[in-house]
Structure 1
């Protein structure tokens, strides 16, 4: 269902679905964003750089539980899946390198490893880009798999920027010589994804994926930079609007505070997702502290919102009830004038849900931005 949103503004599409009474589409969108169902293929030589890249995409260090090992335990021709511990439906698939032999049939590689099952494919290399990898890319694009990206991984030993840029330029020449239109190569250092070309890679992925998949992808990534925190917050605003719209639909019953009781479960799910996506939970902060050589307690003290520390049903119900009570007294006359009687409770439910969750996510995102800024050693 979600792929119908390709190229459209997600929030506007959700509004159109509500207006057309297509609530099932909105419910599907909410679920897609909450579970972050994304499959990414990572093609290339198995080793420390590739493992580090896959771990960093999942917010893990080399010694963390569930981290991809630098020495792959599987046979060279097998595929291994690495789910994200916090977002199990966000999966990276470790594919073997493209053979360098000649002659080579790219169609066989693409079919064997079922490229069409992946939302995006990362073609990775550390030295030279092999022509056969380009052939695989062209074959995948001929099958409408447009989201294929070439990534030059910089290892810890690659300290000379000039050498890296020369390798990047050489790879671009290979792409041009084999007929790739508008070729791009992204230079990425796995241990510090916030630097070099990774932000540009994210921007390209967000444009290429169906919008709801792009939002789900952003929500499953670790909070790498203040800019990414802002993007996550905007994605949550679309999710909150959809959930609030459903709230208004199911709660059109003139019973005081009924929305607070009905909505608390979905509100807890959204705010729990926000806590994990913004990396505010204890485990994420402890991992971040280890990766950046900081004290975990220092990062934990930067959480000022109670929901950043722990999302509880009691706190969420309290906030929903307070918002609805305020609306029932402050806006009742306006609602009575503007809406038919049967819709008044629904309107209050929508507004209470929207205001409560938006306010909570704003507070949590502010905490996340402070933490990321501190971890990166940046001044505001």
Structure 2
């Protein structure tokens, strides 16, 4: 399914597709959400801070396999791509800094580095944005591209006073060049949970189409308990689409087709949830290593069996239990059971919805405990 227009709820769009009997659109949305395609570009000097920032966005430390190196071996005028080891369709692109020459043309820079191919762009610097970077930002706005953000890196030498001075000076530069509503985000590359990065995610969630915003949340490491909650909420549309698909497939008069489709989709969704919530052994061990805590202690906090491993047997058991003993459901959910012509749609829809939401709630609870423990006990 193509990107949903900004401001339009993905669930409402999917509901309309089901009401119009467009099951293929819902299937496409499920695949798009599961694949999580998103491309982010990072513009700026190729120093230690930029490399650390790109690694932190992927949950990596400097010594982890696939980490962006510093100094960068990339040609100064070339683009380097860094895939996410757990989310192969989430890619970061390291773009060269914007030239400081007086003869600079923003259109040429944007064309050369295919600026508009990225879902969002981070304009990074250690000091105030230089004028040509602001020109690129304004040019992006002129072509209806609003997902460009100015980031000031926080270094170990910065103090509260120096950071506020840098922010103030940066805002003045943006205003002087005609940016109507300037905004600058302070980000500490090695600790994204600090300063303005959580707020940046909130703003990106408003600016990006919902499918892309969800894809970003799915791929980011679990930085804070609040981000775990955001991730859980991002699965809402995917779970709803899968439940609607279950209701639609249940109308097919072929024995066992519905149950096979349900279990296959459920396994894929819950596997994605496990990886997104960083509950697999590798992710927990990496978090423990980065925070200087005992990985065994963090692993013991996983009480949901799906947090350890997503198996088809466990998923089928949960789906069967939900189908057998449906909890009382509000009339709102009953009204959402689509397609209307399928007699079993309501029951199949609700069973799938409850089974998946219940499992994700349990897994998210484990993730919150792990993140809280790592942040509380870490160095």
TM-score by length of 2: 0.93
Q: 1: distance between equivalents of 2:22 and 2:113? A: 36
Q: Does 2:32 align with 1:32?
A: yes
1:255-294 paired onto structure 2 within 5 Å: 259-294=258-293
**1:129 match:** 129
Q: Does 2:339 align with 1:345?
A: no
Deviations 1:351-375 (A, max 9, x none): 2211111100000011011111111
Q: Does 2:169 align with 1:170?
A: yes
Q: Does 2:81 align with 1:97?
A: no
**1:46 match:** 46
**1:233 match:** 232
* Shift in Å, 1:25: 2.2
Deviations 1:189-226 (A, max 9, x none): 01110110001111111111111111111111111111
**1:310 match:** 309
Q: 2: distance between equivalents of 1:126 and 1:347? A: 55
Q: 2: distance between equivalents of 1:267 and 1:219? A: 16
Number of equivalent positions: 370
* Shift in Å, 1:322: 2.1
**2:247–2:338: 8 Å Cα contact kept in structure 1?**
no
**1:20 match:** 20
1:1-380 paired onto structure 2 within 5 Å: 1-158=1-158, 160-253=159-252, 259-327=258-326, 343-377=342-376
User: Gapped runs of 5+ residues in structure 1?
Assistant: none
**1:254–1:342: 8 Å Cα contact kept in structure 2?**
no
* Shift in Å, 1:116: 1.0
* Farther off after superposition, 134-143 or 184-193: 134-143
Q: Secondary structure at the match of 2:190?
A: helix
* Shift in Å, 1:47: 1.1
Q: 2: distance between equivalents of 1:124 and 1:363? A: 37
Deviations 1:98-130 (A, max 9, x none): 011112111110111111101111000002321
Q: Secondary structure at the match of 2:8?
A: coil
The structure-2 alpha-carbon separation of the partners of 1:341 and 1:327, relative to structure 1 and needing over 3 Å to count, comes to farther
Q: Alignment RMSD, CA only?
A: 2.2
* Shift in Å, 1:151: 0.1
* Shift in Å, 1:249: 0.7
Q: Secondary structure at the match of 1:66?
A: coil
**1:251–1:262: 8 Å Cα contact kept in structure 2?**
no
Q: 2: distance between equivalents of 1:271 and 1:187? A: 34
Deviations 1:264-301 (A, max 9, x none): 11111000000010010111101100110001111100
User: Gapped runs of 5+ residues in structure 2?
Assistant: none
**2:248–2:339: 8 Å Cα contact kept in structure 1?**
no
Q: 2: distance between equivalents of 1:27 and 1:45? A: 42
Q: 1: distance between equivalents of 2:279 and 2:241? A: 24
* Farther off after superposition, 143-152 or 250-259: 250-259
The structure-2 alpha-carbon separation of the partners of 1:66 and 1:268, relative to structure 1 and needing over 3 Å to count, comes to same
**1:254–1:344: 8 Å Cα contact kept in structure 2?**
no
* Farther off after superposition, 346-355 or 272-281: 346-355
Q: 1: distance between equivalents of 2:8 and 2:102? A: 43
The structure-2 alpha-carbon separation of the partners of 1:267 and 1:350, relative to structure 1 and needing over 3 Å to count, comes to same
**1:36–1:216: 8 Å Cα contact kept in structure 2?**
yes
**2:17–2:25: 8 Å Cα contact kept in structure 1?**
yes
TM-score by length of 1: 0.93
Moved beyond 4 Å, runs of 4+: 253-258, 338-342
